[in-house]
Structure 1
Amino acid sequence: MANTPHGGVLKDLHTRDAPIQAQLRDEAETLPYISLTERQLCDLELILNGAFSPLEGFLSKKDYDSVLDNMRLSDGTLWTIPIYLDLPKDTIDQLGLKVGSRLALRDPRNDTALAILYISDFYRPDKEREAIKLYGANDKAHPAVAYLWSHTNDTYVGGSVQAIAEPQHYDYVAARRSPAELRALFKKLNWSRVVAFQTRNPMHRAHRELTVRAARSRHANVLIQPVVGLTKPGDIDHFTRVRVYQAIMPKYPNGMATLSLLPLAMRMGGPREAVWHAIIRKNFGATHFIVGRDHAGPGKNSLGVDFYGPYEAQDLVLKFADELAIEVVPFQMLTYLPDTDEYRPIDEVPDGVRTLNISGTELRRRLKTGAPIPEWFSYPEVVRILREANPPRIKQGFTVFLTGLHASGKDAIARALQVSLNQEGGRSTTLLLGETIRQELSSELGFTKRERDINISRIGFVAGELTRAGAACIAAPIAPYEDARNKVRDTVSRWGGFYLVHVATPLEQCIKNDRSGVYKRAQAGEIKGFTGIDDVYEEPSNPDLRVDPTVTPVSQIVHEIVLLLERDGYIGER
């Protein structure tokens, strides 16, 4: 692939005649097309604007293998992360794609044709090999390995791309600059030395101190370039983070720093990713790049050990320092010295000197509980933004998910719990009974396992949205399958509390409770696939609460659920 460090594929788009541009758009309308995934969209944007220079498309098998084995493209150019277009084999066959075919690549947000792919080859990856070569282990505790196995399709497509349009963004547009735009800005500002700082987290006082130290030591200006594409699952959303970055920029001396957003899909690839980040920053015009402790590390593996050593990333980037043509600025973790009110690199702190620090885990705990966050750690403006995005639990939503056999009494518990929460006040409460959902949301569904799973998925979606909005949701479907219930937990837990309550009423009692006669009909063979009769009910392996209304009164069960909510801070003193 040709080396185009200053233009990218879009270099022709900006000088192309309007009739030619219109012709390309018309051609795209006649071509087979795909809508890109979020990761593919991020990758394409950075191919088009030159951030991924020298790439001019998605890697062929020859380049893919070379990157995995040698951290280089097949022509010897340093490149450490494979950028491929993954598609299902069925889609390739349905579209009739072959080597030499053209494929329109569309933005899933607005259906705009962004580029035409000229297909050079198809290849099926060895995903285990990719995981080991790229991330060091085939361990799904690594978010990129989990993504590889759960979201990446079975066939990779290589080929160059021809630009049709730039992806349109509607958020923080003024802070989104292409490499050419950022280099032009540096030229206008007479910034000849620029040190770039990569982050996917909110910035606090230590980060400001780190970047100022780097600028001071290299006589440079500072580029704060946070990632606003895909990051690690569970990270704070980019809207909140950008508000934090905007709040912290005035803390720099006037004219020292600028903010520019990077729509990168991170792989959390540690050392390899650090080299990749350095190449990207060089393309944006930076002359220096900060590589900190555990740069782009994903955390711990399935054995509880960090995937990468704390300074492996620094070591690998320094190994390629001459070839990268960007100076690496290695930094150790900074720690706060309360006696002198300053931050220092941890290796510069004399023995016996008192230090303070707040970990990411501790910060999240303080945000959730409303505990104070000291000014030595972060600026009040930053804390205010984080608290707005992470309210204490008393203001967060939650879902209580009751599961049990038909006529187990879960509906009665759900109704009684709704009354109790309405009496408590503080948030609206929504009741999602199984029969109601079947009538209103899933009337077209039957009772096969697949259809039951779809029904529970819909309940999970609604419960997640209610939880995100700060409401209380009480759901009471049968939900007989463990995997479907776990997926609902994952969906809801992103936004607030989730409590699984197993209403473990014995089947014999459920049959006695049944006034509609459906159990008798199922026993007589008139109804097929009825849960508890000829279809399985998988009892929850680890519910938050297991209750039996034949033993415990409904009022006591409701009280026990309320105690769980009070224990975790969702209800109680405001």
Structure 2
Amino acid sequence: MLTPHGGILQDLIERDASIKSELLAETATLKSINLTDRQLCDLELILNGGFSPLTGFLNQADYESVVEHMRLASGQIWPIPITLDLFKHEAAEYQAGERVVLRDPRDDAPLAILTIEDLYVPDKAVESEKAFRGDPEHPAIRYLYDTAGDVYVGGDLQAIALPKHYDYTELRKTPSQLRSEFGYRHWDKVVAFQTRNPMHRAHRELTVRAARDKLASLLIHPVVGLTKPGDIDHHTRVKVYQEIIKKYPNGMAKLSLLPLAMRMAGDREAVWHAIIRKNYGATHFIVGRDHAGPGSNSKGVNFYGPYDAQVLVERFSNELEIEVVPFRMVTYLPDEDRYAPIDEVEDGTRTLNISGTELRKRLRDGSAIPEWFSYPEIVKILRTSHPPRPSQGFALYLSGLPNSGVDALSYALQATFNQFSGSRHITLLDADNISKDSLAFATGELVRSGAGVIIVNTKQVASLEEIANYKKVVSKSGSFILVSVETSKEDCIKNDRKGYLSVERSDVEAYSFPKEADIKVNFSKESINVGIQKIVLYLEEQGFFKF
């Protein structure tokens, strides 16, 4: 078994166990910082040693060295900035030398005490370019500018407790625990496999081949922290992993979950993943094609080359010590009923494959997924968690001025939808009667349960920013469909029998029709029936209704 990165496993929980009571007593006298979801993931891996040799969040010297050279100031390889970011008004409350409690935002539990070494303002433009290659559409860069704070706080940590998890606790092994288990099992060589997606037969085949090639055991080590927006939720994926682990030869493979917040940083992230798996006790690491890449931008340009990650990890392989196992894509040979590496298949041999896009389509429309591609138990899990479109919920947001016909359209749509066959319940929500936060939450929960939700403002006018915020929240649960009711203001005033437009209103004056609406109707030119027809046909085309 390899030594941890830097020579020592920095298990701060074990290191500080003897002074835990003193640290807990001290927390009553200190200011506190409630961590974000990303910071919580980072903290857990600092405290349990997964981020060895780190013992805290990066100070300015380490941060700048990591961004520029992929090394800590000491010279040790470290490719990803691990930073505690605060907004300026928050950072103004602290100063160098101060001790601060870091708390779990879910239950306010104290997890660690940070001794602040420095507070510094990062050059986000440099971090974007150097660490993530500069494309503003890269998810890590969008997080950097849209979510992260303006000031970074560096300093070492003293551990009180790991964040508490209530799901899959038996699978959440720390580096110390896994290393001990590998020793107990006499696993001298361990191949680690990184994934953030469900696994199918091809994944099982390539991992078994890697283990056999290296005469090693296998660690299936999926990420269950933050991954790419839009990825399948970790509960569904873990159920899949629990099924597929049964398909390996007895005693060959071990499943453990990694609480990592991915940055989708491609080649740099692959080096990071290799370091983490070395700390967890692996001796070999499978580096895939486009490893940890977020795909392509809106123009279809890939953020990373397909083999950039393999090249960079190989470049550092001597220093890292962990051995890289390049991902070998396998394909199904139907005439032989087996999988084989694609580079070993003779020309003219018949092959079959299902892309990720095709798989999502088959899940969406309920069409067959063959057993040669995935196991029936796994397909059942995916279908339960991601039912076909006719069983999925959706939110239909009607945007328009008062008296534009939005209220009449909403009632007509509810009556129309409810007469269709099927089990989907249709709910009408008047946004004027619900707080903004409650509206987004309630809509998301209804959509998640498979309901159809029609949202309308009958008196007020939601700004485009408010609608965008609703969409951001609801889209995590299902489809958000924006309908722009573009009846002219003059006609709205003619229909103003309730006095909604009798006085000058800032929300009305500032309103503009959303350019990115999915459906547009105009009751100055069209009837309600035409509007209903447009919406029904759109929903049928998207697969929500079948006639």
Shorter-chain TM-score tier: over 0.9
For the structure 1 residues 7 and 540, does the alpha-carbon distance in structure 2 shift closer, same or farther, using more than 3 Å as the test?
closer
Deviation at 1:354, TM superposition (A): 2.0
Conserved? CA contact 2:12–2:48, under 8 Å: yes
Q: Percent of aligned positions with the same letter in both sequences?
A: 56
**Residue equivalent to 2:539:** 565
Deviation at 1:310, TM superposition (A): 1.0
Q: Does 1:191 align with 2:187?
A: yes
Equivalent residues in 2 for 1:288-299 (5 A)?
288-299=284-295
Deviations along 1:400-444, one digit per CA (max 9) or x if unpaired, are 1111111112101101111112222522221112xxx334x24xx
**1:474 alignment partner AA:** I
Out of 493-502 and 70-79, give the one that drifted further. 493-502
**Residue equivalent to 1:397:** 393
Match 1:511 to one of 465, 489, 493: 493
Cα distance in 1 between the residues matched to 2:322 and 2:304: 23
**2:452 alignment partner AA:** A
Deviations along 1:358-398, one digit per CA (max 9) or x if unpaired, are 11111111111111111111111111111111000111111
Deviation at 1:565, TM superposition (A): 1.7
Out of 398-407 and 338-347, give the one that drifted further. 338-347
**Residue equivalent to 2:523:** 549
Deviations along 1:134-157, one digit per CA (max 9) or x if unpaired, are 112x22221111111111110011
**Residue equivalent to 1:498:** 480
Out of 388-397 and 564-573, give the one that drifted further. 564-573
**1:547 alignment partner AA:** V
**Residue equivalent to 2:248:** 252
Match 2:408 to one of 392, 396, 412: 412
Conserved? CA contact 2:20–2:159, under 8 Å: no
For the structure 1 residues 89 and 536, does the alpha-carbon distance in structure 2 shift closer, same or farther, using more than 3 Å as the test?
closer
Cα distance in 1 between the residues matched to 2:393 and 2:300: 31
**Residue equivalent to 1:538:** 512
For the structure 1 residues 371 and 489, does the alpha-carbon distance in structure 2 shift closer, same or farther, using more than 3 Å as the test?
same
Equivalent residues in 2 for 1:34-53 (5 A)?
34-53=33-52
Residue 520 of structure 2: SS of its match in structure 1? strand
Deviations along 1:83-109, one digit per CA (max 9) or x if unpaired, are 11111121122x3x1110001000111
For the structure 1 residues 360 and 370, does the alpha-carbon distance in structure 2 shift closer, same or farther, using more than 3 Å as the test?
same
Cα distance in 2 between the residues matched to 1:110 and 1:493: 26
Conserved? CA contact 1:139–1:302, under 8 Å: no
Match 1:438 to one of 432, 436, 442: 432
Deviation at 1:303, TM superposition (A): 3.4
Deviations along 1:69-96, one digit per CA (max 9) or x if unpaired, are 1111111111111111111121122x3x
Deviations along 1:97-137, one digit per CA (max 9) or x if unpaired, are 1110001000111110000001111111111100111112x
Out of 342-351 and 272-281, give the one that drifted further. 342-351
**Residue equivalent to 1:180:** 176
Equivalent residues in 2 for 1:80-479 (5 A)?
80-93=79-92, 95=93, 97-136=94-133, 138-425=134-421, 426-433=423-430, 437-439=431-433, 441-442=434-435, 455=436, 458-477=438-457, 479=461
Conserved? CA contact 2:461–2:507, under 8 Å: no
Cα distance in 1 between the residues matched to 2:41 and 2:280: 16
For the structure 1 residues 518 and 482, does the alpha-carbon distance in structure 2 shift closer, same or farther, using more than 3 Å as the test?
closer
Out of 324-333 and 34-43, give the one that drifted further. 324-333
Conserved? CA contact 2:115–2:157, under 8 Å: yes
**Residue equivalent to 2:14:** 11
Conserved? CA contact 1:31–1:103, under 8 Å: yes
Residue 158 of structure 1: SS of its match in structure 2? strand
Deviations along 1:295-353, one digit per CA (max 9) or x if unpaired, are 11111134322111111111111111111121111123222222222222222222222
Conserved? CA contact 1:193–1:220, under 8 Å: yes
Cα distance in 1 between the residues matched to 2:312 and 2:480: 42
Cα distance in 2 between the residues matched to 1:514 and 1:537: 17
Conserved? CA contact 2:462–2:507, under 8 Å: no
Deviation at 1:458, TM superposition (A): 4.7
**1:117 alignment partner AA:** L
Residue 246 of structure 2: SS of its match in structure 1? helix
Q: CA RMSD in A?
A: 1.7
**Residue equivalent to 1:448:** none
Residue 54 of structure 1: SS of its match in structure 2? coil
Deviation at 1:232, TM superposition (A): 0.6
**1:541 alignment partner AA:** K
Deviations along 1:176-200, one digit per CA (max 9) or x if unpaired, are 1000000110111111111110100
Conserved? CA contact 1:5–1:283, under 8 Å: no
Out of 504-513 and 229-238, give the one that drifted further. 504-513
Conserved? CA contact 2:206–2:328, under 8 Å: no
Deviation at 1:496, TM superposition (A): 2.5
Q: Does 1:22 align with 2:25?
A: no
Residue 424 of structure 1: SS of its match in structure 2? coil
Residue 199 of structure 1: SS of its match in structure 2? coil
Residue 161 of structure 1: SS of its match in structure 2? strand
Conserved? CA contact 1:271–1:313, under 8 Å: yes
Residue 572 of structure 1: SS of its match in structure 2? coil
Cα distance in 2 between the residues matched to 1:551 and 1:69: 59
Conserved? CA contact 2:10–2:54, under 8 Å: no
TM-score by length of 2: 0.95
